[in-house]
Chain A
Amino acid sequence: MSTEPTGRVSPIEALSPASRAYGTIDVRSEHPRWGMAVDLERCVGCWSCAVICKSENAVPLGMWWNRILTDGAALDTPSSDDRGGHDLHWVPLACQHCDDAPCQKVCPTSATWTNAEGVVLVNQDDCIGCRYCMAACPYGVRVFNWGDSEYPVPEGTGMVAPRPVGSVEKCTLCVHRLAENQVPSCVWSCPAQARIFGDLEAPESRLVQMLESRNPTILLEEKGTHPKVSYLQPRRRRPLLAVAAATEIETEIDSGEGS
C-alpha cells in the first residue's frame, strides 16, 4: 500500500523540536475529518508545495499529485479587462478528498476508499489499472503509472513506498504524516503559508475559523462532489489597483514629456 512508511528520515523530523512544532496539527477532535483551505490571496504560484509533494511521496518523473494552475490568459500571462486592468491568480490543485467521491463510486474493485478520517485513498494492491476513476474525477488529479518509474536520483525519494506499474495514484493528504500528528508536506512547506490544514470537526481549529471568516469557494460545486478542500478568495481586487497604477504612470510620462 502506498501509505507504508519507508523508514527514511523525513526532512521535518531532522529539524529541531521548535521547528518541528511548526508542522504539528493544531487541534484534533475525537473523530477528526481532515480538510484544507487554500488562500488564493497568499499563493504566489511558486510550486514549492508541488515539488515537496513529489519528494515526500516518491512521485516519479512526469507525474504530479499536486500542481499549480494559472488563472489568467495563459500560463504566465494575466487576463486583462477592458479597462486595461490585469488579473492573475494561481489555483493549487490536488485531490479534493470529496465526501461524495465519484472516483470511489466507479472503482470496480473498491481499491479507492475513504478512511475513517475522510481521506480518499487508493489501495494499489486492489487496483487493476482500468483508469475508470480517472475518467470519473472531475478535477483531473489522478495520475497513472504508465511504465517503470524514474526518479531524479537513482535511489528514489520519499517517505512512502513507490506504486506498481499499471496502477493509479494521487494525493493521500500525506496520510503517513497525519498519523504522527504532522500536517501534509505541502502545508508546512508553503513559503507564503497559503495552505491551512486542520480538522473540520474541531470548531476551534484555525481551518474552521478561516472558513467562517473568509469567503470559501469549492471547485465545481455544481457537480455535487462535496470536496473537503476549499479555496479562500482574495479580498483585495488587484485589477482596480492595476488600473490606478497604470493611469498614474501614464500621467507622469505625459507630464515629463511636456516639460
Chain B
Amino acid sequence: MSTIDAVVSGAGGVGLAAREGRRSGRGWNVWVGLLVTGLVIGFGSFVYQWSAGLTVTGLSNTITWGLYIVAFMFLVGISAGGLIVVAGAELAGTHRFEHVNRLAVVCSVAAVATAAGTILPDLGRPQMAWKMLVQPHLTSPLVWDMAVLSLYLVIGVVDLWILTRRPVPAKSLRVMAIVSLPVAILVHSVTAWIFGLLVARPFWNTPLLAPLFISSALVSGTALVIATAAIVERLTNFVVGGAVYRGLRRLLLWFVAADAFLLFTEVMTTFVSGEPDHREQLDVLLTGRLAPVFWAEVTIGLLLPAMILVFTNTRRWIVTASVLLLAGVFAKRINILFAAEFDPLVGLAPGIPGGRPGQPFRPDEIYLPSWVELGVLTGMVAFFCTIVTIGVRYAVLPHQDEDPVLD
C-alpha cells in the first residue's frame, strides 16, 4: 500500500511474521497509512513554505523563532532517554533496564535525527545550509550544536548496532557508555548555550540555563522511554515488565525533583533580586501573557505528575505521569523561548516592524503558528514515529526473546 510498507516488508521480514502478534494485519496497515500521510503533509508543507518564503509562517521580526525552535529544543531534550537507560545503567552497574535498552536508544536516535531535521524548515534559505559545513564560524554556538548533535547521532546508531549483536559485546558497550556520557551532557548544554550566551535576551542569559536543559532532558527523556514502552507493549507482543516501570519511576522522581529545584531557584532568584530586564521577561511568565502556559507547566506538567509518582506505583499511573511530564516539558520549552521574545530589550513605541507589506510595527507582538508550521510539525512527528517504528520492528522485537523480563 505504500513505499514504507513495501520497504519494511521487503527488506527482510524473515522470521518476523511468527513473532509479530497484533502488529500484522489491519492495525499495522492503518498505522503505516497514518505515518505516510503525516510525512506527505509535512513534506508538502515544507516545500510550500520553501517556495513562498517564511512569510507563510506566523513569525515576525519580533518573534523570529517559533514552533520549529520549540520542537527543536524539545526533541533534543527527549533524546536523553537512551543514554540514561544504556550508558547510565551500564556505568551504575545495573541490568535492570536491559530489556528496554534497544527501545530507548531507538527513541534517542529518532529524536536527534528529527531535531536536526527541524532546523531545515526554520532556515530562510535551506538551499544554503551547506555553507555551515564548508565555512563554519567557530564562535557560533549553532555550529557547535550541529557538530555535537551529529556526534550524538553517530553514537546512538553505534550503540544500537552493539545492542543488537548477540552476545552483546560487553566491553564495547562500556566504552560507548564512557564516551557517550560527556557527549550527552554537551548536547544539552550546547543547545542551551545557543540561547544562554545571548546578551540580548536576559531571560536566557543565565548560567542556570544549561543545567536546566539537562534536568528537563532527563525528565522528558525518561518519560518518553516509559510512554513509548507502554505504547509498544500495547500494540505488539513486546513485554516490558513491571520492574522496568518501577525502576524508571524511581529515576524519574529524582530527575523531576532536580528539575523542579533548578526551576524554582532560577525563578526565585530573578523574582527577588534579578536585573530589571531579566525580571521583566520573567513577569511575562508569572503574570503576563504567558502566565496560563507557565502555571499550567508548573501545576499540571510538574507538581501533579510528581505527586502521582510519589503516591502510586502502578504501570497505569507511571505512564500517566510520564505523559503529563512530557507535556510539561514541552510547555517549558514554549515558555523559555517566548518569555525573551515577547519582551524585547528596546521596547519603545512603535516597536519593531513586522516585516511584511502592510504589517504594522508591534511593540507587543503576538505569535500563533500558522497551518503551514503545524503541517511541518505533523511531518516531524510522523518522521519521529517512522524511525521509532522501523527501529522497533528491526532492532527491538527480533531480539526480545533473548532478554530476561523482570517482573
A, B assembled together:
yes
Segment among B29-37, B308-316, B344-352 that sits at the interface with chain A: B344-352
Interface string of B101-131 (1 = CB under 8 A from A): 0000000000000000001001111101101
Judge whether A194 is part of the interface by a CB distance below 8 angstroms. Answer: no
Contacts of B201 in A (CB 8 A): 135
A167, chain B: closest CB distance, angstroms = 6
Tell whether A129 pairs with B123 under 8 Å between CB atoms, given A70-B350, A136-B198: yes
Judge whether A198 is part of the interface by a CB distance below 8 angstroms. Answer: no
Contacts of A140 in B (CB 8 A): 61-62, 344-346, 352
Of A63, A71, A91, A127, which contacts B353 at CB under 8 A? Answer: A63
Closest partner residue, chain A, to B352 (CB atom): A140
Contacts of A61 in B (CB 8 A): 357-358
Interface residues contributed by chain A, number (CB under 8 Å): 54
Tell whether, in the assembled complex, residue A144 and residue B142 are in contact, meaning their CB atoms are under 8 Å apart.
no
Q: How many residue-residue contacts, CB under 8 A, span A and B?
A: 165
Judge whether A102 is part of the interface by a CB distance below 8 angstroms. Answer: yes
A103, chain B: closest CB distance, angstroms = 9
Tell whether A71 pairs with B348 under 8 Å between CB atoms, given A106-B139, A108-B140, A147-B54: yes
Judge whether B141 is part of the interface by a CB distance below 8 angstroms. Answer: yes
Query: Among residues 93 to 148 in chain A, which have CB atoms less than 8 Å away from a CB atom of chain B?
Result: 93, 102, 105-111, 126-132, 134-140, 142-148
Tell whether, in the assembled complex, residue A130 and residue B198 are in contact, meaning their CB atoms are under 8 Å apart.
no
Closest partner residue, chain B, to A224 (CB atom): B199
Closest partner residue, chain A, to B205 (CB atom): A223
Closest partner residue, chain A, to B56 (CB atom): A147
Judge whether B359 is part of the interface by a CB distance below 8 angstroms. Answer: yes
Interface string of A149-166 (1 = CB under 8 A from B): 010000000000000111
Q: Cα distance A138–B52 when bound, in Å? A: 29
Tell whether A75 pairs with B350 under 8 Å between CB atoms, given A105-B140, A108-B143, A165-B53: yes
Tell whether, in the assembled complex, residue B54 and residue A144 are in contact, meaning their CB atoms are under 8 Å apart.
yes
Contacts of B64 in A (CB 8 A): 131, 134-135, 144
Tell whether A129 pairs with B128 under 8 Å between CB atoms, given A144-B64, A219-B346: yes
Judge whether A245 is part of the interface by a CB distance below 8 angstroms. Answer: no
Q: Cα distance A143–B61 when bound, in Å? A: 6
Contacts of A106 in B (CB 8 A): 139-142, 197-198
Contacts of B345 in A (CB 8 A): 138-140, 220, 223
Closest partner residue, chain B, to A77 (CB atom): B349
B87, chain A: closest CB distance, angstroms = 29
Tell whether, in the assembled complex, residue A128 and residue B131 are in contact, meaning their CB atoms are under 8 Å apart.
yes
A49, chain B: closest CB distance, angstroms = 15
Q: Cα distance A128–B353 when bound, in Å? A: 21
Tell whether, in the assembled complex, residue B140 and residue A166 are in contact, meaning their CB atoms are under 8 Å apart.
no
Q: Cα distance A49–B87 when bound, in Å? A: 60
Tell whether A138 pairs with B199 under 8 Å between CB atoms, given A63-B355, A130-B122: yes
Tell whether A166 pairs with B125 under 8 Å between CB atoms, given A61-B358, A106-B141, A138-B345: yes
A224, chain B: closest CB distance, angstroms = 7
Contacts of B143 in A (CB 8 A): 108
Judge whether A69 is part of the interface by a CB distance below 8 angstroms. Answer: yes
Closest partner residue, chain A, to B61 (CB atom): A143
Of B349, B355, B357, which contacts A69 at CB under 8 A? Answer: B349
B282, chain A: closest CB distance, angstroms = 18
Of B61, B124, B194, B198, which contacts A165 at CB under 8 A? Answer: B124
Q: Cα distance A63–B356 when bound, in Å? A: 7
Interface string of B191-216 (1 = CB under 8 A from A): 00011011111000000000000000
Q: Cα distance A195–B377 when bound, in Å? A: 47
Judge whether A62 is part of the interface by a CB distance below 8 angstroms. Answer: yes
Tell whether, in the assembled complex, residue B129 and residue A136 are in contact, meaning their CB atoms are under 8 Å apart.
no
Q: Cα distance A108–B132 when bound, in Å? A: 6
Q: Cα distance A220–B348 when bound, in Å? A: 13
Q: Cα distance A61–B359 when bound, in Å? A: 9
Tell whether A167 pairs with B124 under 8 Å between CB atoms, given A93-B346, A220-B346, A223-B200: yes
Tell whether A145 pairs with B359 under 8 Å between CB atoms, given A62-B354, A165-B53: no
Tell whether, in the assembled complex, residue B61 and residue A134 are in contact, meaning their CB atoms are under 8 Å apart.
yes
Closest partner residue, chain A, to B341 (CB atom): A135
Tell whether, in the assembled complex, residue B357 and residue A62 are in contact, meaning their CB atoms are under 8 Å apart.
yes
Contacts of B61 in A (CB 8 A): 63, 134, 140, 142-144
Judge whether A225 is part of the interface by a CB distance below 8 angstroms. Answer: yes
Tell whether, in the assembled complex, residue B199 and residue A225 are in contact, meaning their CB atoms are under 8 Å apart.
yes
Closest partner residue, chain A, to B129 (CB atom): A128
A216, chain B: closest CB distance, angstroms = 18
A238, chain B: closest CB distance, angstroms = 18
Closest partner residue, chain A, to B51 (CB atom): A165
Tell whether A144 pairs with B198 under 8 Å between CB atoms, given A70-B350, A109-B132, A132-B142: no
Of A64, A72, A102, A145, which contacts B53 at CB under 8 A? Answer: A145
New contact pairs (18) apart from A146-B53, A166-B54, CB-CB < 8 Å: A72-B349, A75-B350, A91-B348, A105-B139, A108-B146, A109-B137, A111-B131, A129-B128, A131-B64, A137-B200, A139-B345, A144-B54, A146-B57, A146-B355, A148-B55, A219-B346, A220-B345, A223-B345
Closest A-B pairs by Cβ, 10 of them: A129-B124, A166-B124, A147-B55, A138-B200, A147-B53, A69-B348, A61-B357, A146-B55, A166-B125, A75-B349
User: Which residues on A are within 8 Å of B, measured CB to CB?
Assistant: 60-64, 67, 69-72, 74-75, 91, 93, 102, 105-111, 126-132, 134-140, 142-148, 150, 164-168, 219-220, 223-225
Q: List 22 A-B contacts (CB under 8 A).
A: A63-B61, A63-B353, A69-B346, A69-B348, A71-B348, A74-B349, A102-B198, A106-B140, A110-B135, A111-B131, A126-B135, A127-B124, A128-B125, A128-B128, A128-B131, A135-B198, A138-B346, A140-B61, A140-B345, A140-B352, A143-B61, A219-B346
User: Which residues on B are within 8 Å of A, measured CB to CB?
Assistant: 52-57, 59-62, 64-65, 119, 122-126, 128-129, 131-132, 135-137, 139-143, 146, 194-195, 197-201, 341, 344-346, 348-350, 352-359, 361
